[in-house]
Each structure stands twice: as C-alpha cells, then as structure tokens.
A and B are shown apart, each in its own frame.
Chain A
C-alpha cells in the first residue's frame, strides 16, 4: 500500500526567508507525486507534480519541489516566502491508478 508522511504539522518562517515543507513517500513502482495548497474555505489547488524527468520541478506561485528517489522524498521549497503563502499544504502520491493518497497536511505560517 502507498503512503505519504508529512513530518511537520506546522512550519513557521519569516517573510523573505526560504521555506521548505517536507514530504516522504512509500509506493511500489514509479511514483507520481503532487503538491496541493488549501486556503481557508477553499478546495485544494494544484501546485506542481513530478511524473518523470528532471528531479527539480517548478510549479505555480514560485514554488518548486525536489524529487529524491534514494531518500523517497519530495520536499516543497520556495526561495523567498510571502505572507500570502500561509496556507495548508498537502503532499500526495499516485502509483499506477487514479487513486491519490494524501499526507496529513502541513500548516505553513509566514510571519511578517
């Protein structure tokens, strides 16, 4: 069975500093990996995905993620955090079917 771990319930970062939200996964076969963001009272919005190719994936709003096969990780990063980046972030994995397995989410707070 596939699984996703987001080891931090909350990440606090000062505005302008780099941010990292961690994700590790477990799956049989080649993984398809996703990051989604959820703002209050909204559904999840797609940020970026890794299917194959370059290990560094660029997505929406200046976010990027690095796929590391040996460490089974897919950490979300941004060079300079904005207050508007404060939200709930979900990592998800899919292997061979439509079904996504989500992590429990990480609340990102960017402090002005």
Chain B
C-alpha cells in the first residue's frame, strides 16, 4: 500500500527546543515537499526536494530546515521553534504528473 508516514502526529513543545518531524515514503517518488496549513491561508509550501541531495525553498521557508540524504526520507527540522510555527504540517510526495500523495499530518503546538 502506498504510504507517506509522518511522525509524530501530535507534539506540544516549548520555544527554542529543537525538533524534527520525520516523513517517510514507500513509493520511490523523486519529489517530496513540506506544507503548513493554517486557517484561512490554505496550504503553503515550506521546502521541497526534487531528488536526493536536491532541496529548495518554497513560499515560507524561514525558521525551517530540511535534508534529503536518501530518497525515502525528508525530515523537517525546526532548530529553534517559535509560537508562530504552531501549525498543521503535511508531507507530500509525487512522481511525474501524477497527483501528490499526502501524509496524515503533524499538529505542532509551540508554547
């Protein structure tokens, strides 16, 4: 079964404490992406990766880092989280012109 797996699904943490949200896919898709979803703003892209070791900024990259050391994984790193990064985060994958596949989301609350 095609899967995009995000962990954790929920996290409450404090300002400044580094955290990583993992994303793993089993479809061998070359493209992976991170979005954040906020009420009234829809989905906004944070970072994306066209393939291993190739990453680029999306529309809202400030305060985030990513890496793509292997094809299946694309972790999202918040080095020093702040309350304005409280949001619902989605990882997605894609190949060619096929639709993007989404994970079930990670709800982050930063106090």
User: What is the interface of chain A, defined by CB distance below 8 A to chain B?
Assistant: 9, 32, 34, 36, 41-46, 49, 51, 90, 98-100, 102-105
Contacts and interface: CB of A to CB of B under 8 A. Distances in A.
B97 interface: yes
A105 B42 contact: yes
Nearest to B41: A104
9 contacts: A34-B99, A41-B104, A45-B102, A90-B42, A98-B50, A99-B48, A99-B58, A100-B100, A104-B40
Contacts of B94: 98
A99 B43 CA distance: 12
A44 B93 CA distance: 12
A2 B16 CA distance: 35
Interface in B73-105: 90, 92, 94, 97, 99-105
A43 B43 contact: no
Interface of B: 4, 31, 33, 35, 40-45, 48, 50, 58, 90, 92, 94, 97, 99-105
Contacts of B104: 41-43
Give the interface centre of B50, B58, B102, B104 by most chain A CB atoms within 10 Å. Answer: B102
Contacts of A45: 102
Give the interface centre of A9, A34, A98, A102 by most chain B CB atoms within 10 Å. Answer: A98
